[in-house]
Structure 1
Amino acid sequence: MSPAARPDDPAAATSDPDQPSAPRPGRSGMSLGRVLGFPLRLRPSTLIFAALVTLAYGSVLARGPHAGATGYVVAFSFVVLLFVSVLLHELGHALTAKRCGIGVRGITLELLGGYTEMTRAAPTPGVDLLVSVAGPAVSLGLGVGASLTALALPDGGLVNELVLQLAVSNLIVAAFNSLPGLPLDGGRILAAVVWAVTGDRGRGVIIAGWTGRIVALATAVGALLLAQLGPTSPFGLAFALLVAMTLWHGAGRAIRAAQAQRQVGSLDLLSLARPLAPVPGAMSLADARQLLADSPDPSAVLAVVDDGDRVVAVVDDAAAAAVPAERLAFVTVAMVARDLAAIPALDAEDDAEQVLAAVRDNPAAQHLVTSGEDVLGVLRVADIARALESIRK
């Protein structure tokens, strides 16, 4: 299984029904350098899984034509080729996303396959569909190519055994990943189709999430039935149930993320922006705070204006809070202010999703809210966090 991860979370501009920005999944794991320019990481659990597959599959081969250590060598080679196949699958997603103008943070290989982490959600259903189809298409191509190669090789050889297993595994990955349920690629395809038909991205994600739960239940029931009806190894049964649990968890996360996205979308984040309280830069911080306390809106943010009453800087909350009480009368507002050019800005026309994406990509404590060259106010990340927490509760 190799679902492609995307940011679908409200604060991630969010995907990843598959993920305010929580720790990004692609940031964990051991770095393996770069492949075609994309950072590649490996989860430690992947090594454990590789060892278990090698031992389980090797023991089966050792009882057949590849006796002794040869069976384990073939099994290990198969595992290596399988992870190369998963990497190629994810590169299909990554290269397609890059071609469509979507940034890629990296590719991570993990216990049950891998995922590609992208910087933002697809801008249109067509792009989402194209990126989602790319992975299974690569796996299908590998499976067909390996099948044709196996037919051309003499039967019974080690190479033929490896190529045949590679063909079967890639065809299974392509077919299983195309099932219409999140977090599988087929779920992304279904979500994109529903989005295109209804114009509602969230509805597509929720529908694909629920079908993902159906796929998870079907996987678990199928594995248990096979265990009852025929010889199924304990490892094979455990693996199938682990896949089912992973699908259920991913589908549920997608549903919750889409529901939260809808709630956040109804929140006018820019209404949380605090107005500016203009003061001359030479005014002491003590006098400015007193002036602010006596004003109609004490929650306003102190802003430095020049002789033409144009805002040129905004008081930095952390710098102002660090000034000792006995020094407030001697520290000017300009001394604890930041120039406008040094503060990230948000456009007043941005919607909630765009604001959250901008804050995620540039997690500063405060952002300017602008309209053209005019500064309308300051949006504090702490205010956004409180609003999101209120929605969550």
Structure 2
Amino acid sequence: MTSGSDQTEPASRKPRGGPGLRIGRPFGIPVYVTSSWLLVAAVITLLYGGIVQARLALGPVSYLLAFVFAILLYASVLVHELAHSVVARGFGLPVRRIVLHVLGGVSEIGREAPTPGREFWIAFVGPLFSLLVAAGAFGLYLMADPFGVPGELLFQLWVANLLVGVFNLLPGLPLDGGRLLRAGVWKVTGRPFAGTVAAAWGGRVLALGVVALPLVEAWRSGGLNPWGTVWALVLGGFMWMGATEALRTARVRERIPGLRARELARPAVAVVSDTPLAEAQRRAGAAEADAIVVTDRQGTPLSIVHPAAAEAIAEGRREWVPVSDVARALTEHSLVPVGLEGEELLEALAGHPLPEYLVVDGEGAVQGVLRAGDVNAAMAGEARR
């Protein structure tokens, strides 16, 4: 099972609804279980139930015991994720939620750690708690009857947590060990992007290794394990996609400091609300402006002409259609200070998502129109249209 913290990019505003059934709010953090957990619980119950029956001969109770183990396993994953989330919140980072899914769990942390040291501790504390749970379960197992129900559960619990803790320390994203590698490279180079590149490629190599394991074993033994092969393909695919997404996110984050409202704003002309659309477009063309701002007679901005709505008007009618008919009204959240840049600019836009914003200086004078599509294009490294 995989587990780890998922630090998301500010530009990707994830849906606020839950991805499954909410089972609680420990430490004020919403915890959700997806429907895929039922599939894993069923598989564990069927497979492990047969093993328990062979070892303890408990009849139908063997499968109940196997289901209890599935619950204990995911409770261990929850402890792992809570460790990530609590430490992240202690460092002042927002935690959206914890999601338990088919392959383990993930903590959705809303902002990147500001230093490699904090990145290290947020990542390391998860495997640390898994290994502590393993040690505690192992200690109790030594005092229990190995052929009794408690002994069987404790045995599986300490082995499972040991595997989760050790596996998540492997040096590749999206595993916690990848974040530890990222923190180390970040510390040495001073560039978080360099750390992400190293850890993402480490994750891709690990993904290929996971997929190759059952194939190598089949070559050695002469027989292919179907369950092991399917699980390796699913896990390897998940790791490859996680590493690739981390690399994409890092490339986006690398561009965030270069985002400036002053540079992204499109030149605009101001016209009064009863100006014919054709005349407004003529003035914009003469001024080499890309946007039209509608004002009242005193020059107070009221709205911004919507390009698609304007283009939908037949050219022959534009002499008779006032610009106010094809404009979006401005609100108190439509104004963006011209000096905003980087994270501050993104946070301002994310707080009140709109198609376009009016960029103004300290005196309230219009400096241009900022379109959300232009910001997204800049973050993706694309030329604006």
**Range class of TM-score, shorter chain:** 0.7 to 0.9
Equivalent runs, 1:1-393 vs 2, <5 Å: 1-7=2-8, 12-13=9-10, 21=12, 24=14, 29-36=19-26, 37-227=28-218, 234-262=226-254, 270-280=262-272, 283-284=274-275, 286=277, 289=280, 292-293=283-284, 295-304=286-295, 307=298, 311-315=300-304, 317=306, 333=324, 338-339=329-330, 341-343=332-334, 345=336, 348-351=339-342, 354-356=344-346, 358-372=348-362, 374=364, 375-387=366-378, 391=382
Counterpart residue type for residue 236 of structure 2: A
C-alpha distance 76-385 of structure 1, shift in aligned 2 (>3 A): same
Q: Contact conserved, 2:268 with 2:290, CA < 8 A, in 1? A: no
Q: Which has the higher contact order (CA 8 A, sep 6+)?
A: 1
Q: After the TM superposition, which of the residue ranges 199-208 and 40-49 deviates more from structure 2?
A: 40-49
C-alpha distance 143-360 of structure 1, shift in aligned 2 (>3 A): same
* TM-score under structure 1 length normalisation: 0.81
Q: Percent identity?
A: 33
C-alpha distance 55-213 of structure 1, shift in aligned 2 (>3 A): same
Distance 1:171 1:277 in 2: 65
Counterpart residue type for residue 377 of structure 1: G
Distance 2:383 2:272 in 1: 40
Counterpart residue type for residue 177 of structure 1: N
Distance 2:183 2:87 in 1: 16
For residues 331-376 of structure 1, the C-alpha deviation after alignment (integer angstroms, 9 at most, x for no partner) is 675995645523153553413x554455445321112334545453
Distance 2:228 2:93 in 1: 37
Q: Contact conserved, 2:169 with 2:175, CA < 8 A, in 1? A: yes
* TM-score under structure 2 length normalisation: 0.83
Counterpart residue type for residue 254 of structure 1: A
Distance 1:114 1:125 in 2: 23
Q: Contact conserved, 1:292 with 1:300, CA < 8 A, in 2? A: no
Q: Contact conserved, 1:301 with 1:315, CA < 8 A, in 2? A: yes
Alpha-carbon offset, residue 107 of structure 1? 1.4
Distance 2:147 2:338 in 1: 66
Q: Contact conserved, 1:97 with 1:103, CA < 8 A, in 2? A: yes
Q: Contact conserved, 1:82 with 1:169, CA < 8 A, in 2? A: yes
Distance 2:372 2:263 in 1: 13
Alpha-carbon offset, residue 172 of structure 1? 1.1
Distance 1:31 1:276 in 2: 48
Aligned pairs, number:
378
Q: After the TM superposition, which of the residue ranges 134-143 and 258-267 deviates more from structure 2?
A: 258-267
Q: RMSD between aligned alpha carbons? A: 3.5
Alpha-carbon offset, residue 237 of structure 1? 4.0
Q: Contact conserved, 1:178 with 1:187, CA < 8 A, in 2? A: yes
Alpha-carbon offset, residue 298 of structure 1? 3.6
SS of equivalent residue, structure 2 residue 112: coil
Give the equivalent residue in structure 2 for 1:17: none
Q: Contact conserved, 2:271 with 2:292, CA < 8 A, in 1? A: no
Distance 1:21 1:58 in 2: 42
Q: After the TM superposition, which of the residue ranges 231-240 and 180-189 deviates more from structure 2?
A: 231-240
Alpha-carbon offset, residue 171 of structure 1? 1.4
For residues 130-171 of structure 1, the C-alpha deviation after alignment (integer angstroms, 9 at most, x for no partner) is 221222122122112212222232332101211221111111
Distance 1:279 1:68 in 2: 83
Q: Contact conserved, 1:274 with 1:301, CA < 8 A, in 2? A: no
Alpha-carbon offset, residue 272 of structure 1? 2.7
SS of equivalent residue, structure 1 residue 341: coil
SS of equivalent residue, structure 1 residue 63: helix
